[in-house]
Amino acid sequence: MEELMRLDDINMIFTKKIGFMSKNKTFQALKNVNLTINKGEIIAVVGESGSGKTTIGRIITGLIKPTSGELYYEGKKFTGMINKKVHNSNIQFIQQDSYAALNPVKTIYQSLYAPIKTYNKRMTKAEIDEKIVDLMGLIGLIPVDRFLDKFPHQLSGGQRQRVLMARAISLNPKIIVADEPVSMIDVSLRLSILNLMNTLNKKMGVTFIYITHDLATARFIAQEGRIVVMYKGEVVETGNIESILKNPQHNYTKALIRAVPIPDPTLNTFDDIEIEGESY
């Protein structure tokens, strides 16, 4: 596969102010992370809270800059020389809370119209309207007229998440980072969102970085892709998801598999595991 982005020795250190008389505390969120992202693939980044998975997503999307290390996008150095407009159109971010991500006083039509117009100045209103109708059909919110004039609070969590998908793909990005996109919606609707991501990946060739703590959804979304397992800011394991699930090398991966109810008895055959003082 063709390389789209590469992360070389990425470190991220956050500083937290404790008080006027106290020294600031530092926390290393990422430690020497190396990751290659290829065109048209799906990567599931899995880890517990505080593992660094969301920090990786924010660095990829340009929301934060790493403390050290380099990013390369299509072979060119990325860190410190981002053209924000080009960057935003090529790499999109879908956050966990779909309600917070949409302006509550704007209709769905307005939320989709604004980014398209911003990045496509020459498009007429009629052309944008046609594109919006196509997007709504692609994400499965039909009949279109039923949804465009609604406000975010009038939609379900699953419907709002689909709108975020539509907004993300409206700029024809090459990478979409989806941070826990199904964790706040009803369990019965999660599969439909994951299927939508797979459909967009196949139809548009867009690369998806799926960030989650849920190994079961990671396994589903990245059936033909890769899994990246993170623990305490480090990538501890990466590769074909089925191979890793059946033959994990790192103790944290084994513990993760054991803790999640996956209906496959061959994946839960590990004895008691200890990870740096933690028993599983």
Q: What is the CA radius of gyration of the chain?
A: 20
For residues 69-98, give the mean pLDDT.
79
What pLDDT score does 186 carry? 81
pLDDT digits (tens, 9 = 90+) for 217-258: 999 999 989 999 999 999 999 999 889 989 999 999 998 888
For residues 20-27, give the mean pLDDT.
79
pLDDT digits (tens, 9 = 90+) for 180-210: 999 888 877 888 899 999 999 999 999 999 9
Whether residue 81 is predicted with pLDDT greater than 80 in this model: the reply is no
Average pLDDT, whole number, for the chain?
88
The set of residues, in sequence order, having a beta carbon less than 8 Å from that of 61 and lying 6+ positions away, is: 91, 92, 93, 177
* Cα distances (angstroms) measured from residue 85 to each of 82, 91, 108, 119, 257: 9, 10, 23, 8, 40
Give the CATH class of 3-279: alpha beta
Domain spans of the chain, in order of start: 3-279
pLDDT digits (tens, 9 = 90+) for 4-16: 999 999 999 998 8
For residues 263-276, give the mean pLDDT.
56
